[in-house]
Amino acid sequence: SRSYRIAVLAGDGIGPEVMTEALRVLDAVEAKFGFTTAREERLVGGAAIDATGHPLPPETIASCEASDAILFGSVGGPKWESLPPDTQPERGALLPLRKHFGLFANLRPGVCLPSLTHASPVKNELIPNGFDVLCVRELTGGVYFGQPKGREERDGEPVAYDTMIYRQSEIDRILRVAFTAAMGRGKRLVSVDKANVLATSVLWRETAVQVAKDYPEVELSHLYVDNAAMQLVRRPDSFDVLVTENLFGDILSDEMAMISGSLGMLPSASLGKQKDGGLYYGMYEPSGGSAPDIAGKGIANPIAQILSTAMLLRFSLGENEAAAAIEAAVAKAIDEGFRTGDIATGAAGETKVGTTAMADAIL
């Protein structure tokens, strides 16, 4: 039978408890669709700092290298917040993983289901049917990794600098991911930049216009990042796919996730180059954080982790039926009224559940 290897990095906070549920769901689809996964559980983030002194130990990287994909929980918490930024769980684990595995394409769905508009901070009348946006963020370029980056004395005072830099090929490849995604959805792509100020954005916009020629069915438009930050608040349902560079994507995808109101339900995929056969090496993780305030209480919403597992099945293993089965089961559990605390209203027809019972409903 088909068999795969997965590195399982549960991390901190609610990571381990939602991961447990995601793996139960994975067990179920394996049995149903006839494949197996060999799973290596490895330390990452604060848990890894506590055990080894490093947020991303070499054993963890080695295990990821030997796998077809990484299923990631979440990292960070108050315990490690006073460490220097470079060695903190988030920065010290996420950025090196992205760079090491060349995970340049971050796919972040921002979905507000029609039945969950009450959970969105935005007025229901602005999003009568909810919304479904896919944010595609460039993840290994721009000001995150650009050189020179540093600090020196000039004229007797400290001066610090970062470099926002893009090669055209880096822009080209992320745009192709976004155009391809748009082809499989509503065929509308909004490219976000700051081409009225940034040289990198001028190149970004030019490249978008060029690449668009290869996707004549997709309607491309451009928004300045400040305007995009406004439009996401006012009319999130006007977007289909949004593509942007690393820093803008960091800000806008989080803004969009908050606007959806269901952070605990949003998965993400960080993909490398497409391989022969169309699959990707990738890392899959919930969009939300480690939520230390509710960790260990059994109340976290496991859906983001479960849907991240579905993305892994689709993009890295090609087990599309299993992925679709998980997504359908999640939709059904919501339809049937199962609600963790983050998305509950107390309305009639709702069954309020904890982490495990939500996974049971999905199973």
Ligand X SMILES: CC(C)[C@H](C(=O)O)[C@@H](O)C(=O)O
Residues that bind ligand X (CB under 6 A): 90-91, 94-95, 196-197, 226, 250
123 vs 213 by CB, closer to its own copies? 123
CA distance 185 to 179: 10
Question: What phi and psi, each to the nearest 5 degrees, are found at residue 6?
Answer: -130, 130
> Catalytic residue among 4, 12, 166, 194, which?
194
Among residues 28, 61, 143, 279, the one that binds its own copies under rule CB under 8 A: 143
What minimum distance in Å lies between the beta carbon of 227 and ligand X?
8
* C-beta separation of 22 from 39 below 8 A: no
Phi first, then psi: what are they for 147, rounded to 5°? -115, 150
Q: How many CB atoms lie within 10 A of CB 141?
A: 21
Indicate which residue of 149, 226, 273, 275 is catalytic. Answer: 226
Active site residue 172: no
Is 68 in the active site?
no
Using the rule CB under 8 A, give the single segment among 189-197, 265-273, 313-321, 339-347 that binds its own copies: 189-197
The terminus-to-terminus CA distance of the chain in angstroms comes to 22
Which stretches of 189-245 are DSSP H helices?
199-212, 225-234
Q: How far apart are CA 67 and CA 42, in angstroms?
A: 12
CA 264 to chain CA mean position, Å: 12
Would you say 21 or 90 has its CB closer to ligand X? 90
| DSSP symbol at 317 | I
Select from 40, 41, 219, 254 the one that contacts its own copies (CB under 8 A): 254
User: Annotation-wise, does 301 bind a ligand?
Assistant: yes
Residue with tokens 């447990």: 20
Query: CB-wise, 245 or 319, nearer to ligand X?
Result: 245
Residue 226 designated active-site: yes
Q: Which amino acid is at 235?
A: R
d(CA 182, CA 217): 9
CB 109 within 8 A of CB 241: no
Within positions 79 to 98, which residues make up the interface with its own copies, using CB under 8 A? 85, 88, 90-91, 95
Using the rule CB under 8 A, is 346 a contact of its own copies?
A: no
Size of the site for its own copies (CB under 8 A): 59
The smaller minimum CB distance to its own copies, of residues 108 and 314, is found at: 108
Residues engaged in binding its own copies (CB under 8 A): 85, 88, 90-91, 95, 120-124, 126, 143-144, 146, 149-151, 154-155, 157-169, 194-200, 202-204, 225-227, 229-230, 233-234, 247-248, 250-252, 254-255, 257-259
Active-site residue numbers?
A: 144, 194, 226, 250, 254
